[in-house]
Amino acid sequence: MLFVLLGTGCASQETSPSLEQSAVFPSYQGSYASAPIPAEWIPLYQRLRADGLDGPDLPRYFSMMGTPSQDPMGRKIKELYTKAFAPKPKPTPSAKPSKPRPKVYPGVITAENVEKCRAFLAENAAAFDFAERTYGVPREIAVSLLFVETRLGTFLGKEKAFYTLASMASSRQPDDISSYLDRLPGASGRLGWIQERMEQRSDWAYKEFVALLGNVRASHLDALGVPGSVYGAIGLCQFMPSNIAPYGADGDGDGTVNLFTVPDAVASLSNYLAMHGWNKASTRAARHKVIKTYNRIDIYANTILGLAEAQGYRAD
């Protein structure tokens, strides 16, 4: 996922089938039953209507989603609250020196995974040929990024992106995450602080939800079934939905950007890296910096470069 930590060693290690011509996530082929929209969704639905985003699909989606989950917003507020108010642990003498932090994700740069990347490149040669020729990003970098993000499409996230973002967008008041507030010491005296951050995160999630709605409509995906990360990143390349419009690319020429297909995912991540300076980066350090625009931590960029180099790519 762009700008947040995603697939980092926990994904399935199974080799995916050939994906060059087909989506790894199926298009929507049916219709949802009509039912009343639960009251908890009404403010979000009305906001979408006011912004001109209503359609015959939207009431059906809301009627099928049950009620909002407290988890997406609750997790984020707990994280922010703990960082702001939790007592800092006092340093304690240690009998043993602490181990140095690993430079790369453990278990990723292995001979087995190098072979998986090479097999994936061979199975989807046309997609990688097009992306490398068009955007200038080496295929070893592109496939390594896909491996780190989703294990080449075999792990696309455990959440439902549409429901996750809708739940977060509809959570604006402390009462909306009551089960989490009970676990935050002193929360009752900081409700103003909590609400301010909830409103900020809700507005962010609304922007992402609107972008996802537009993409599933254009790509004819099953909105309620789209898998994603805990905060809504989707596809083989784990884009946040708002990054699809500026950076998404149609790699198979079908007129849409569907990040659950290999051609579009590879073209999109390559376009993203190109637009963030890949083709001007002439050193390993410069390329490391470009990869960090995709995910801001060093170990992420180290792992992608290391896995690419294990396939024969030369960063300098």
Give the residue among 289, 242, 296, 291 at the shortest CA–CA distance from 270: 291
Give bridge partners of residue 27 from the DSSP assignment: 221
Q: Is 276 helix (H, G, I), strand (E, B) or coil?
A: coil
- Is residue 62 predicted with pLDDT exceeding 50? yes
Give residue 20's pLDDT.
41
| Element at 162 (helix H, strand E) | helix 161-169
**Beta-carbon neighbour count of residue 125 at 10 Å?**
12
- For 11, residues 6+ apart whose C-beta sits below 8 A from its C-beta are 150, 151, 154, 155
Kindly state the helix (H) or strand (E) to which residue 228 belongs, with its residue range: strand 227-228
DSSP state string for 81-95: HHHHHSPPPPP---S
Q: Which among 195, 194, 202 is positioned nearest to 169, based on CA atoms? A: 202
User: Can you read off the two tokens belonging to residue 156?
Assistant: 């696309």
**167-217 confidence digits (pLDDT tens):** 999 999 999 999 999 999 999 999 999 999 999 999 999 999 999 999 999
Burial of 97 (0-12, 13-18, 19+ CB in 10 A): exposed
Structural contact between residues 67 and 163, judged by C-beta atoms closer than 8 angstroms: no
> Does residue 139 register a pLDDT over 80?
yes
In the predicted structure, residue 13 carries a pLDDT above the cut 90: no
List the one residue out of 308, 313, 314 whose CA is nearest residue 109: 308
Reduced to 3 states (helix: H, G, I; strand: E, B; else coil), residue 17 is: coil
Read off the pLDDT band of 3 (50, 70, 90): very low
User: For residues 283 and 27, which has the higher predicted lDDT (pLDDT)?
Assistant: 283
d(CA 227, CA 158): 7
Span 47-71, mean pLDDT? 96
Would you give the distance in Å from CA 228 to the centre of its chain? 6
Query: What pLDDT score was predicted for residue 97?
Result: 67
| Confidence tier at 22 by pLDDT (50, 70, 90) | very low
Q: How confident is the model at residue 94 (pLDDT cuts 50, 70, 90)?
A: low
CA–CA–CA angle 60, 229, 78 (5° rounding): 100
Q: Is 49 helix (H, G, I), strand (E, B) or coil?
A: helix
How far apart are the C-alpha atoms of 232 and 210, rounded to whole Å?
A: 12
Q: For the CA atoms of 19, 235, 148, 263, what is the dihedral angle to 10 degrees?
A: 40
Distance CA 93, CA 72 (A): 37
Contact 241, 268 (CB under 8 A): no
